[in-house]
Amino acid sequence: MTEGAPAEAERVAGGRERVGVIGAGYVGLVTGVCLASMGYQVTLRDIDAAKVAALNDGQVPIYEPGLAELMEEHRERLTYTLSLERLLERSDIVFIAVDTPPSYSGDADLSRVMSVVDELEKVAGADARHVLVMKSTVPVGTGERVRAELDARGLADVGYCSNPEFLKEGAAIADFLRPDRVVIGSFDDAQGDRVAALYEPLGAPIIRTSVPSAEMVKYASNAFLATKISFINEIANVCEEVGADVDVVAAGMGLDSRIGRSFLRAGIGFGGSCFPKDVSALKQLAGNSGYHFQLLTSVIEVNELQKRRVIGKLKKHLGSLEGKRVALLGLAFKPGTDDMREASSLVLAARLLAEGAEVLAYDPVVDGGMDRLKGVAIRESAEEVVEGADAAVLVTEWDSIVGMDWAAVRESMRSPVLIDGRNALDPVEMMRLGYVFEGIGRLPAHVDVPS
C-alpha cells in the first residue's frame, strides 16, 4: 500500500477519500459497511482478534437487518484488521466508533477513546492526510480535549471533526444512507469540508458547526426523544385514571405539526444502548457544570416506574403473583434487534421473580444464557410460553408476536389475562376473544366491545 505523498496523490487522483473505522462494533460496522456501499474503500480495525477473524471469515457479529447482505455485496471494498498501522496506511478519513459506556458516576467512560489517542502517538503513520471523525457519542467538550491531547503529543497535523450518529437499531442502514441530517462539527473548515464531501452523495442536509455544538446536537436530540416517550407514558397513566385512550390522544396531538406524530407511542418504557445512557450522561454533564437538569431527572424516573407498572396490572387481576405462571412475549428492547441493553424486560422479569412468579419467555432473536435473565425459562416458541400461563405480557412488538393466533393462545392459557405493554394489539378484538385485557393508557372499560 502506498504511504504519505503517493497516498495523497492517489486520493486526489481518484477523487475519493479512503475510509478507516476504529471499532467494529454496532456503529462502526454499520458506518463502514454503508460507506463501502457508497463506493469508498473501507478498513475496519478492532482490538478483538476473534471478532476480526470472524469478520474476515464473512461472519457478521451483530444482528442488524440488511447488514450481512450489504457486507457480502461490498466485500471487495472492506478490509478488517487488528492493526492500527495498517488502518492508517489504508485510510484518509478515520472514524472513531469505540464504546463510551456509562461509568459508575453516570459520566461517559472515555477510556477507549483516549486509548486510541495513546495508540496514535505510539504507532507510525498518523499525519496531515488523516482526519479523525468522532462517531461515538461523547460528552460535550471531548473534542476539545482530544484536540489538545493530539497537539500535545506531536499530532497537531492530524485533523479532528465531530460527526454524531443517529442510527436506530433495526433501521440503521436506512438511517445511515437516508439520514434526516448529517451534523459535522470542525475546528478547521477544510477538514470539515473533507468529511462533508464524503456524505454529499447522500443528498441530505449537512449541518456544519463547531465541535461542541455537534456533540450537543446528539445529546439534545436523544434527550428530547426520551422526554417525548416519558411524557406520553405519563399521559397514558393519567388516561387510565380519567377514562381516555392514549392512542387516540397521541394521534390527536401528533397531527399538530409542532408536536409531530413520532415517538408518542405509550408503553412500558424506553431501553436500548442509547437513550438511557445518553439521558443520564447529559444530566450528569449539566450537573458537573453546576446546572441541575430537573426535567431529565423526571424523564429517567418516569421510565423506571413505567417498567414496573405491569406488576400492578397483573396483581389487579391475579392477586398475589406467588406461584403464578407469567409468559413474557418478547425480550429485546424493541423489535428488529437482539439488543438487551436496558431492556424493560429485564426489570419486569426480575420484579416478577421477586414476587414469586414463575417466568417463561420467548423472543424470536434473543436466546437464553444471559446472566441477567437467570431464573427465566426461555422457550423456543411463543406457543410454548403461553401454554398453561396465568397471564401473558406483550413486551416487544415483534410482527410474529403481534400476528399470533390469539384465539388459539387464549385457549391454551390457564387464565386469559393479557397485558399489552406496547399497545400493539386491538383491545376490542382481544376482549371479543375473551381476554381480560389491558394496554397502557387504554382501559378496557372505555372501549365499546361489540357483542
Shortest CB 174 distance to ligand UDX, Å: 12
270 interacts with ligand UDX by CB under 6 A: yes
User: Which residue's CB comes closest to ligand UDX?
Assistant: 274
Residue 364 φ then ψ, to 5°: -60, -25
Shortest CB 337 distance to ligand UDX, Å: 7
Stretch touching ligand UDX by CB under 6 A, among 50-58, 113-121, 268-276, 385-393 = 268-276
How many binding residues for ligand UDX (CB under 6 A)?
A: 19
Residue from 25, 32, 159, 267 touching ligand UDX (CB under 6 A): that is 267
Touching ligand UDX, residues 328-347 (CB under 6 A) = 333-334
274 interacts with ligand UDX by CB under 6 A: yes
272 interacts with ligand UDX by CB under 6 A: yes
Q: DSSP per residue over 361-402, as a string? A: EE-SS--S--GGGTT-EE-SSHHHHHTT-SEEEE-S--HHHH
Shortest CB 299 distance to ligand UDX, Å: 12
Beta bridge pairs of residue 38: none
Enter the DSSP assignment of 373.
G
- How far is the CA of 145 from the CAs of 162, 201, 218, in angstroms? 12, 31, 18
Of residues 314, 270, 72, 95, the one with CA closest to residue 168: 270
Contact flags string 157-176 toward ligand UDX, x per CB under 6 A: --------xxxxx-------
- The half-sphere exposure of 274 on its side-chain side, counting CA atoms within 13 A, is 20
CA dihedral of 163, 164, 168, 170, whole degrees rounded to 10: 50
- How far is the CA of 203 from the CAs of 168, 177, 178, 180, in angstroms? 20, 10, 8, 10
Nearer to ligand UDX, 185 or 271 (CB): 271
Nearer to ligand UDX, 325 or 422 (CB): 422
Shortest CB 335 distance to ligand UDX, Å: 8
Residue from 51, 74, 265, 324 touching ligand UDX (CB under 6 A): that is 265
Shortest CB 303 distance to ligand UDX, Å: 9
Nearer to ligand UDX, 167 or 430 (CB): 167
Q: Where are the alpha helices (DSSP H) in 200-325?
A: 211-242, 246-254, 275-288, 294-318
How far apart are the C-alpha atoms of 322 and 171, rounded to whole Å? 40
Q: How many residues does the chain have?
A: 451
Residue 257 φ then ψ, to 5°: -65, -20
Strand pairing category for 358-362 and 436-438? unpaired
Touching ligand UDX, residues 391-450 (CB under 6 A) = none
271 interacts with ligand UDX by CB under 6 A: yes
Shortest CB 55 distance to ligand UDX, Å: 22
Shortest CB 223 distance to ligand UDX, Å: 11
Give the list of residues 6+ apart from residue 354 with CB closer than 8 angstroms, or none.
none
240 interacts with ligand UDX by CB under 6 A: no
Nearer to ligand UDX, 229 or 314 (CB): 229
Beta bridge pairs of residue 176: none
Beta bridge pairs of residue 328: 361, 393
In the structure grid, which three cell numbers stand for residue 284, read together? 450528569
Whether residue 34 lies in the annotated active site: no
Stretch touching ligand UDX by CB under 6 A, among 39-47, 77-85, 257-265, 400-408 = 257-265
The secondary structure element, H or E, covering residue 70 is helix 67-73
Residues that bind ligand UDX (CB under 6 A): 165-169, 222, 225, 229, 263-265, 267, 270-272, 274-275, 333-334
Q: Catalytic residue numbers?
A: 274
